[in-house]
Structure 1
């Protein structure tokens, strides 16, 4: 409630101190609450409820949508389905896959894949472009798009990570999903050897030159 009596303003979203992770609360012996999985509630189950010849299987990963693996103009797939599978497996290994909706994982996977796609374009075409009318050098539009998709991916990952912090009862550290995909723009860059001069290498070269080597 604002001073003028109107119902506006208030606390900003994600403002203030963040709550401690669930596993740290449990390790310290402090009271903590966790989201309940409705599938864990007991219920009556009989053999005749499923019929004869039923094949029972465990929980499987929801298949990613087709648009995550669409073929791009360069003839290569987008690769967002790879990020989707890695993210779901990362969540499932920590017991949090049932608390994150697949659409949120798809949104993160698509934004991250587009970010990688822009980074690959920057590595291929460079940081500068040509103005369509004047022909002058301008900043590549892929740079701005890369920053935009990177921010979107961070926002989606923040939402996923907060769910993991609030529901995971074990250590959730380790490699984040998408690390393997991020290596693609690095591999796309020139592999020409580089020479890095340091003070020790300069001193060593001077000594060799003085010795006539």
Structure 2
């Protein structure tokens, strides 16, 4: 069972999202919050697998709540859920360590897929968000590619292979099956890769893999 805390200051939005989540027998909403402070407290009390955070909330916005949750409960996956697709929010959310970014205007199936992906140790960006990220990466590509390739110098061949699969959106279990190793070995590789690249999460690592040309662009 994937345990989820849902935070949004609009009660009707929370009800709608909760209804979508309840349609999946393997997802359970264990807490709700109407502001960022309450979201942090709900995560503390329930220790969910995933927290869904709206960007704009009173008392403490979603970005501030994400910062607190990542600091206090790094085992909880953070997914930002918002109506706002501005690049500044995407960039800041990913920089804070969010593992997913979904738009409220997206297909409900994206919401369920995102929760499952992040719970499984992968990262998930809605297609519209992924398009924006890729568009950002297109600017100054030569300099970015050179910098990214320099970062990859610290990785072994095997670690680069894991990074390539990670950047392609595969979960730890999928990578383990592909490489014929146990999942614990993949987790160890991912932890080492994040440390050597100096990034906080899989999304940031995947961006480096994209910039370096390890995955299609």
Q: TM-score, normalised by structure 1?
A: 0.22
User: Which protein is richer in helix relative to its size?
Assistant: 2
User: Which protein is richer in strand relative to its size?
Assistant: 2
Q: Which has the higher contact order (CA 8 A, sep 6+)?
A: 1
Structure with bigger gyration radius:
1
Q: TM-score, normalised by structure 2?
A: 0.22
